[in-house]
Amino acid sequence: MDLLKFMYSGAMSTSSLELLMNLMVIADKFDVVSCIHQCGLLLSSFPMTPARASQYLEFPFNTLDAVKLLIDAAKQCLAEHQCEFFQYNDEELISLPLLAIEQLLLSKKLLLQSEDEVFNFALKWARAKYPKLQERCDILCSKHIPLIRFPYMTTHMLKEILKCEDLEYGLISKVVLDAFLFKAEAPKKQQALMAERTYKFHHVKVLDWETPHNECIVLFDLRREECASLFPKGSIYSDWFHLRAHKFYLSAECKDQGNSSEFFGLHLGFEGIESVKVKFKFAGQLASRYLSYPDLSFTHTFTKKELYGWSNVFSISWSEFMKDNGPYFIDGVVHLRFEVAIIQ
């Protein structure tokens, strides 16, 4: 009846959000574009919440042009709440429609430990929504894969993705290869297809050997502004890297030793259940031919979650390490290299 009244008088007989939504659904069914447009304008005037935005994006409108303003407002709402969205419980996230998930994956505002989280969530969502393997593969490959920042994933995750049966192997192998090529580039030459998000853990490059996978070389590049942000008591933690089944990470710190003395510290972190004996060597700066670096190494048995390393790796003050004309930064980047090996 409300639709008939609008068609004959051009007047909207309801201002209730629920009734407007119902009216728009009926108008869309019968292709009454002017009514759809008017309902969309009125609905856009109501406060937009993430739940309401998801509802608008989930409805399969036949006349999308008529509700463009409403759909754009819903997408903008999700874009502004995506940090919060990613902290919702699994049930709320899994219930989101495809368009909402696309907005989520597209965002640069997500606060993440690493890009690994994005892939794991996209896979979990697709498995819940599309139980049939071929449908799931089509959605992941056509909708999700283009939105995930694979170059910013950990080396371990990139290798694991190649084993994922939910993805078309030809496509994912190319994506993973491109990610590894990106990681191999010098920092100044790296140009990702998509902008980096805000990650809690810093990226590292890992060169390892598959058999017996007991040792690796880790490259840890830090920009001058990142180091400057550590003063006076800050830390930067790297992505996880794996040796066998053990998880390790690096930590760069500004260590306060008291008496207004700060130094540049480097540590190896471990998180695991079983104890493991590790040899860790600071192998110097990859990009500097002129700087003599200290010959630092240790052998330590990690038995729990802990950090172990050096509080003053270069044996100089923080100000000496950070000075503009010093030898530690090459084109604004300090390139640190480590050798990590599990001792039999």
Residues 211-238 have pLDDT tens digits of 566 888 999 999 999 999 999 888 999 9
Question: What secondary structure letter does DSSP report for 80?
Answer: H
CATH fold for the domain made of 202-342: 2.60.210
Q: What are phi and psi of 232, to 5 degrees?
A: -100, -10
Predicted local distance difference test score (pLDDT) of residue 125: 92
Predicted local distance difference test score (pLDDT) of residue 190: 52
Is the pLDDT at 285 greater than 70, yes or no? no
Model-level pTM? 0.69
Assess whether the previous peptide bond of 212 is cis (omega < 30° from 0): yes
Predicted local distance difference test score (pLDDT) of residue 252: 94
- Pairing relationship of beta strands 198-199 and 111-112 according to DSSP bridges: parallel
CB 247 within 8 Å of CB 155: no
Please write the tens of the pLDDT for every residue from 293-311. Answer: 567 889 999 988 888 999 8
Question: What secondary structure letter does DSSP report for 286?
Answer: T
Among 234, 235, 321, 250, which residue's Cα sits nearest to residue 282? Answer: 250
Please write the tens of the pLDDT for every residue from 35-92. Answer: 988 888 888 888 888 778 878 887 777 777 778 888 888 877 776 666 655 555 567 6
Ranges of each domain in the chain: 1-109, 110-200, 202-342
